Amino acid sequence: MPFVIRSEEPGDEEAIDLVNFRAFMVHHTEGGVPRVDEHDLVRYLRAYCPGFDRRRSITAWDKQRCVGHALFTPARIRLLGETVDALAVGPVAVDPGYQRQGIGGELLWFGHELGREEGFGVAFLCGHPSYYPRHGYVPCHGFAKVTIDLERLPPSSGTLHALPVTSADVPWLVACGEVEWADVDFGWLWGDALTEWSAPGAIALMWWTEDGRRAAYTLADPRGRWRHVLGDDPDSVREALYAIRPTTLDHHPSGWLARNVLDPGWSVVEVERGDPAMACELQEGALGPLLNALESGTRPPGCVNWALPFILIP
């Protein structure tokens, strides 16, 4: 094959943007106007994800032209009560003029090999259910949704006030995240950089009590849809929920919030395994116990709390 597959090098950024634009434009044209999210996703991951590493940004070249790109982002995830080093995969893009020549497969193989050598356990993504299984992916996580009945949600005492998230909040946020995601599968443990909790476009708020205690963190995407709520005291988190009055959230049924804060009188937590929600083993046996637990029904399917860059795109 005449294509060169290699890690991104300084100066490749615009060529990578272009190949993502070309590959996804075909899928996202609305009334003739291209609406392409994935080249923004690469830019956001580059800017806001501290784990971004150009070695894991894999490119394919036909002479001087970038014709393919696949991005692998390191993620510490919770899996069956363990913290596992994983790779979040995406976007994967091949220039439409170069598709069906094996480039997509080569990019995945290169990224997987690199991850395998460095000890990453699994790679996970949301993608085409008929494409990724040929590269070792199986459906093993899903999509969760909390629906809240605002009619039944008790009124707030109105005592909390919101401020933007700052770097001083980050240790508290990391600790709350570890508690929230301790017993979930495919829970992405967000780390200790401010940009993992707050980034331009996202509505990330820290709620404070009148006596100066942190009560809760709430995150909405740029469309104003509430996505996550975290905290360490059920009453304070409930106060924050009363304040923001979300109709839906993306929480996992085994998370701390679902078990300690949500009340079946006003909320329903659902999770369903999804064909596009797939993962593949990079170390032999890394997914076996989870797949067995899912088959036997002893664990609910997990759902990835995708890092901020993924929720910034429409």
274 is a contact residue toward ligand COA (CB under 6 A): no
Q: What are phi and psi of 170, to 5 degrees?
A: -60, -45
The distance of closest approach from Cβ of residue 18 to ligand COA in the complex, given in angstroms and rounded to an integer, is: 13
The residues with which 272 forms a beta bridge, in sequence order, are 143
121 is a contact residue toward ligand COA (CB under 6 A): no
279: left (phi over 0), alpha (psi -120 to 50) or beta: beta
For residue 250, give both structure tokens: 């993306």
104 is a contact residue toward ligand COA (CB under 6 A): yes
Of 128, 152, 161, 213, the one binding ligand COA by CB under 6 A = 128
63 is a contact residue toward ligand COA (CB under 6 A): no
Q: 38-48 vs 13-25: helix axis angle to the nearest 10?
A: 150
The distance of closest approach from Cβ of residue 263 to ligand COA in the complex, given in angstroms and rounded to an integer, is: 37
105 is a contact residue toward ligand COA (CB under 6 A): yes
Nearer to ligand COA, 108 or 258 (CB): 108
The distance of closest approach from Cβ of residue 304 to ligand COA in the complex, given in angstroms and rounded to an integer, is: 14
Q: By CB under 6 A, how many residues form the interface with ligand COA? A: 17
283 is a contact residue toward ligand COA (CB under 6 A): no
Nearer to ligand COA, 24 or 197 (CB): 24
The distance of closest approach from Cβ of residue 19 to ligand COA in the complex, given in angstroms and rounded to an integer, is: 8
The distance of closest approach from Cβ of residue 68 to ligand COA in the complex, given in angstroms and rounded to an integer, is: 6
The distance of closest approach from Cβ of residue 273 to ligand COA in the complex, given in angstroms and rounded to an integer, is: 18
Exposed/middle/buried for residue 235 (C-beta within 10 Å: 0-12, 13-18, 19+): exposed
Tell me which stretch binds ligand COA (CB under 6 A): 9-17, 87-95, 218-226, 279-287. 87-95
- Bond into 264 cis (ω within 30): no
The distance of closest approach from Cβ of residue 26 to ligand COA in the complex, given in angstroms and rounded to an integer, is: 7
23 is a contact residue toward ligand COA (CB under 6 A): yes
- Taken in order 245, 247, 250, 253, the sign of the CA dihedral is positive
89 is a contact residue toward ligand COA (CB under 6 A): no
Distance (Å) of CA 199 to CA 44, 128, 196: 9, 28, 7
100 is a contact residue toward ligand COA (CB under 6 A): yes
Of 109, 131, 172, 266, the one binding ligand COA by CB under 6 A = 131
Give Cβ neighbours of residue 77 (< 8 Å, ≥ 6 apart). 83, 84, 86, 122, 124, 186, 187, 188, 189, 304
Tell how strand 82-94 and strand 203-208 pair up.
unpaired
Distance (Å) of CA 147 to CA 238, 252, 262: 15, 12, 10
For residue 133, give both structure tokens: 């299984």
Alpha-carbon gap, residue 314 to 153, rounded angstroms:
28
Alpha-carbon gap, residue 290 to 299, rounded angstroms:
8
Of 92, 122, 244, 280, the one binding ligand COA by CB under 6 A = 92
Q: What are phi and psi of 248, to 5 degrees?
A: -140, 155
Tell me which stretch binds ligand COA (CB under 6 A): 96-104, 139-147, 203-211, 221-229. 96-104
Tell how strand 248-249 and strand 141-148 pair up.
antiparallel
The distance of closest approach from Cβ of residue 285 to ligand COA in the complex, given in angstroms and rounded to an integer, is: 26
Nearer to ligand COA, 51 or 133 (CB): 133
Residues that bind ligand COA (CB under 6 A): 23-24, 27, 92-94, 99-105, 127-128, 130-131
